[in-house]
A and B are shown apart, each in its own frame.
Chain A
Amino acid sequence: DGGITQSPKYLFRKEGQNVTLSCEQNLNHDAMYWYRQDPGQGLRLIYYSQIVNDFQKGDIAEGYSVSREKKESFPLTVTSAQKNPTAFYLCASSRGEAGNTIYFGEGSWLTVV
């Protein structure tokens, strides 16, 4: 079945450490996205990518980095510069055209301990 796979589902990080969240899709979608969701709140866009080797900052990119070396993969690194990283992170993809449906992965919970 086609879909978006995020891993790990749960991750604990010590302060000062970088951590990378994986996102893989087999939908052959051009566009991929990372969103952050805090408890009881909506989604905020971190980064997005329309094509391989290209990505753009979203609304809250500070303290995060991404890469898009392959069409199917869009990993997110939460760096030590992110002051409040504890949140639920959602990866998504779409065909990349206006009006297209965005499909989401199951999400990754990151907790800083």
Chain B
Amino acid sequence: GNSVTQMEGPVTLSEEAFLTINCTYTATGYPSLFWYVQYPGEGLQLLLKATKADDKGSNKGFEATYRKETTSFHLEKGSVQVSDSAVYFCALSEGTSYDKVIFGPGTSLSVIP
């Protein structure tokens, strides 16, 4: 079945460091891919998305490129801030069934001054 794998956390970085959170997926077709962010005690917010191969999603300095050949959707940011501390979820949506949204386990990021 379809699945999403993320790098295990927690990840701790100093402010202005480069961030990469790895995400790989398994799917039988052509899924849409998403990154969601969850700040402490809140719901999930869409950070960015990509709907087809080679698309790049971007928002708030974060980027991720849909790589079909490596089945990956790694999240990157060139210079993290303390306010980026949160949990990041990779997810995929595939097929004609609306319920087929699969979330990864989440990666916790802490950015220290």
Q: Are B32 and A99 in contact (CB under 8 A)?
A: yes
A53 within 8 A of B: no
Taking CB atoms, residues of chain A closer than 8 Å to B2 are none
Name the one of B41, B45, B94, B98 contacting A96, with C-beta atoms under 8 angstroms.
B98
On whether the beta carbons of B94 and A98 are closer than 8 Å, the reply is yes
Docked Cα-Cα span, A113 to B96, in Å, equals: 42
Query: Are B89 and A42 in contact, CB atoms less than 8 angstroms apart?
Result: yes
Q: When the two chains form the complex, which single residue of B34, B46, B49, B98 contacts A50, counting CB atoms closer than 8 Å?
A: B98
User: Hey, which chain A residues are within 8 Å of B100, CB to CB?
Assistant: 98
Smallest CB-CB separation from B32: which chain A residue?
A99
Q: How far is the CB of B85 from chain A (nearest CB, A)?
A: 15
Q: How far does the alpha carbon of A108 sit from the alpha carbon of B16 in the complex, in Å? A: 33
The verdict on A43 contacting chain B, using a C-beta distance below 8 Å, is yes
Query: Are A106 and B42 within 8 A (Cβ)?
Result: yes
Tell me the A66-106 residues at the B interface (CB within 8 Å). 90, 92, 94, 96-106
Question: How many B residues touch the partner, as a band?
Answer: 20 to 34
Please determine whether B105 and A104 come into contact, CB atoms closer than 8 angstroms: no
Whether, in the assembled complex, A17 has its beta carbon less than 8 Å from a beta carbon of chain B, the answer is no
Is A64 on the interface with B (CB-CB < 8 A)? Answer: no
Q: Which residue on chain B has the smallest CB distance to residue A50?
A: B98
Judge whether B19 is part of the interface by a CB distance below 8 angstroms. no
- Find chain A residues with CB under 8 A from B97 CB: 98
B78 contacts A by Cβ under 8 Å: no
The answer to whether A103 touches B98, judged by C-beta atoms less than 8 angstroms apart, is no
Contact A104 B43, beta carbon cutoff 8 Å: yes
14 A–B pairs (Cβ distance < 8 Å), ordered by A: A41-B105, A42-B89, A42-B103, A43-B103, A90-B43, A94-B98, A96-B98, A100-B98, A101-B34, A101-B46, A102-B93, A102-B101, A104-B36, A104-B45
Q: Residues of A at under 8 Å CB distance from B?
A: 4, 6, 31, 33, 40-43, 45, 48, 50, 56, 58, 90, 92, 94, 96-107, 109
Query: Chain B: residues with CB nearer than 8 A to chain A?
Result: 31-32, 34, 36, 41-46, 49, 51, 89, 93-101, 103-106, 108
- The 3 closest A-B CB pairs, nearest first, are A99-B32, A104-B43, A42-B105
